């Protein structure tokens, strides 16, 4: 046992040094054989329409409250409204409860959407498998989901991280590999369907196909949504000038539960994590609603209950790729000091169609008159990770800037997804998995050390107990 403890501790120290800096960054030379970056044809089985007249389709769920005891279930009926009722229970053959939702639709140019149903199912028990049924008669469909464990600092939980997915064969590879990961909830980093790459009625058609595409996962576990630039859909030539119109009609979020004034930025707590979703394409400078909301939300974070503080955004703050270089600088100037002050553990972003992980660094001393413009190692800063490599039709961003900046720990232009497996209040296991010619390959992995408990004196008394739990995870 002493040997195992020593091995685990040594491994943790080596890997954590990679997070905090002090070693040369890696630019992977791997070049993968990829499928063409074109969308899958609409008649492909990946977009199959369920059988039955007016059968519910595009089913997806997201967290419906602040603490994980509710879900919002969404679906579309293509021909007529039908019932907006969800029947649910803890048995596959008996639905003891019902909840009533709402139904709406929208137009985009000459496209008219199906009937979009959204139903809040609340008052759920933690750590419980629920079965649910939607639709009516022979056209009804049944699914299930698992609620998270109760809010607790030592609740273990596994998140998946996907960004910029789209609906190509590469997208399908990413989604299928993710579904084999054992993760329980997706943290989605924006740019969903890439329907804005189309024109006229095809925009709406490709939103529908994407909803059917991700249903295989999103109907069974929550996807925590954030919006990217491809959700804006500001298309004046079609007379469409309301930003995020399709996205906001189709993908609700529990923003009111965190006192947000917009579905585009909000927060949830799940298991041992406090997750904050920001909007890169909504006003965020000082005194704007998003800025005011984030200032108050960060004050509410209780690291004694939810020690893991995770931020999601679309545009990366630190990015050494030629694609979208420096686009996140304005948000860095607005929020980076807060991320350091509140010891955010990790910031996930998409947008750049490649993978990159930073060391813990900050650039707080830079301003327009000081000239101190270089990031420096900072143990209080987050790790910044770009996972914009879901597989969309725009292809990979294969041109990194050279020399590789000191803050960049690892970077590679390949498709894939990540997982963050929280083990307890002190440690989490992170993996980036490359889609290597159709096979899932764990390429970048490390142990993430919790920022709050790393600097908390009480942690010294807990080291022995939690190190044993980490060893159990390493050698399970």
What would you report as the CA-atom Rg of the chain, rounded to the nearest whole angstrom? Answer: 22
Give the integer Cα–Cα distance in Å for 46 and 43. 8
Helix axes 169-179, 201-218, angle to 10 degrees: 20
Tell me the CA end-to-end span of the chain in Å, nearest whole number.
14
Residue 277: how many other CB atoms lie within 10 Å: 27
CA angle 350, 355, 356 (to 5 degrees): 95
Under DSSP, the state recorded for 263 is T
Whether the Cβ atoms of residue 427 and residue 436 lie closer than 8 Å to each other: no
Residue 417: how many other CB atoms lie within 10 Å: 29
Q: Quick one: how far is CA 258 from the chain centroid?
A: 18
Q: Can you point out the beta strands (E) in 286-415?
A: 308-312, 346-349, 355-358, 361-362, 376-377, 383-387, 408-412
Please name which of 143, 137, 112 lies closest in space to residue 53, comparing C-alpha atoms: 137
Under DSSP, the state recorded for 146 is E
Q: What is the DSSP string of 416-468?
A: EEEEEEE-SSSEEEEEEEEEETTEEEEEEEEEEEPHHHHS-THHHHHHHHHHH
Under DSSP, the state recorded for 333 is H
How long is the chain? 476
Question: For the purposes of burial, counting CB atoms within 10 Å of the CB of 335, is it exposed (0-12), middle (13-18) or buried (19 or more)?
Answer: buried
249: tokens are 């009609």
Whether the Cβ atoms of residue 175 and residue 234 lie closer than 8 Å to each other: no
Question: For the purposes of burial, counting CB atoms within 10 Å of the CB of 476, is it exposed (0-12), middle (13-18) or buried (19 or more)?
Answer: exposed
Residues catalogued as catalytic? 324
Give the integer Cα–Cα distance in Å for 14 and 16. 6
Give the integer Cα–Cα distance in Å for 168 and 223. 20
- Specify the DSSP element, H or E, that contains 143: strand 141-146
Q: Quick one: how far is CA 161 from the chain centroid?
A: 5
How many helices and strands (H and E) does the chain possess? Answer: 8, 26
Whether the Cβ atoms of residue 269 and residue 68 lie closer than 8 Å to each other: yes
Residue 228: how many other CB atoms lie within 10 Å: 25
């Amino acid at each position: 046992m002493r040997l195992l403890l020593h091995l685990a501790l040594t491994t943790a120290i080596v890997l954590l040094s990679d997070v905090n800096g002090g070693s040369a960054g890696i630019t992977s030379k791997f070049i993968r054989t990829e499928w063409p970056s074109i969308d899958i044809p609409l008649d492909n089985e990946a977009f199959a329409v369920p059988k039955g007249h007016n059968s519910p389709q595009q089913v997806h769920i997201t967290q419906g409250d602040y603490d994980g005891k509710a879900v919002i279930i969404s679906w579309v009926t293509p021909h007529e409204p039908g019932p907006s009722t969800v029947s649910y229970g803890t048995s596959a053959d008996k639905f003891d409860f019902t909840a009533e939702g709402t139904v709406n639709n929208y137009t985009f140019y000459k496209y008219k959407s199906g009937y979009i149903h959204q139903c809040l199912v609340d008052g759920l028990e933690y750590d419980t498998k629920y079965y649910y049924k939607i639709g009516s008669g022979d056209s009804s469909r049944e699914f299930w989901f698992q609620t998270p464990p109760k809010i607790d600092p030592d609740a273990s939980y596994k998140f998946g991280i996907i960004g910029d997915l789209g609906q190509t064969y590469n997208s399908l590879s990413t989604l299928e590999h993710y579904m084999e990961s054992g993760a329980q909830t997706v943290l989605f980093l924006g740019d969903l369907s890439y329907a804005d790459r189309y024109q006229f009625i095809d925009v709406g058609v490709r939103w529908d196909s994407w909803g059917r595409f991700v249903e295989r996962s999103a109907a069974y576990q929550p996807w925590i949504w954030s919006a990217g630039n491809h959700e804006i859909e500001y298309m004046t030539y079609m007379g469409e000038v309301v930003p995020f119109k399709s996205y906001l009609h189709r993908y609700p979020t529990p923003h009111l539960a965190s006192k947000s004034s917009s579905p585009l930025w909000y927060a949830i707590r799940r298991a041992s994590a406090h997750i904050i979703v920001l909007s890169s394409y909504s006003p965020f400078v000082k005194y704007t609603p998003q800025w005011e909301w984030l200032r108050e939300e960060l004050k509410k974070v209780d690291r004694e209950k939810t020690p893991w503080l995770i931020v999601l955004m679309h545009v990366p703050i630190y990015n050494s790729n030629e694609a979208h270089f420096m686009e996140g600088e304005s948000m860095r100037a607005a929020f980076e000091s807060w991320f350091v002050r509140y010891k955010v553990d990790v910031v996930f972003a998409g947008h750049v169609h490649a993978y990159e992980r930073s060391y813990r660094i900050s650039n707080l001393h830079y301003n327009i008159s000081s000239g101190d413009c270089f990031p420096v190692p900072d143990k209080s800063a987050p790790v910044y990770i770009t996972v914009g490599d879901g597989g969309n039709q725009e292809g990979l961003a294969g041109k990194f800037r050279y020399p590789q900046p000191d803050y960049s720990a690892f970077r590679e232009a390949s498709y894939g997804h990540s997982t963050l497996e929280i083990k307890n209040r002190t440690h989490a296991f992170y993996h980036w998995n490359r889609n290597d010619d159709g096979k899932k390959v764990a390429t970048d992995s490390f142990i993430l050390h919790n920022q709050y408990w790393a600097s908390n004196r009480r942690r010294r008394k807990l080291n022995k107990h939690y190190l044993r739990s980490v060893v159990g995870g390493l050698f399970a």
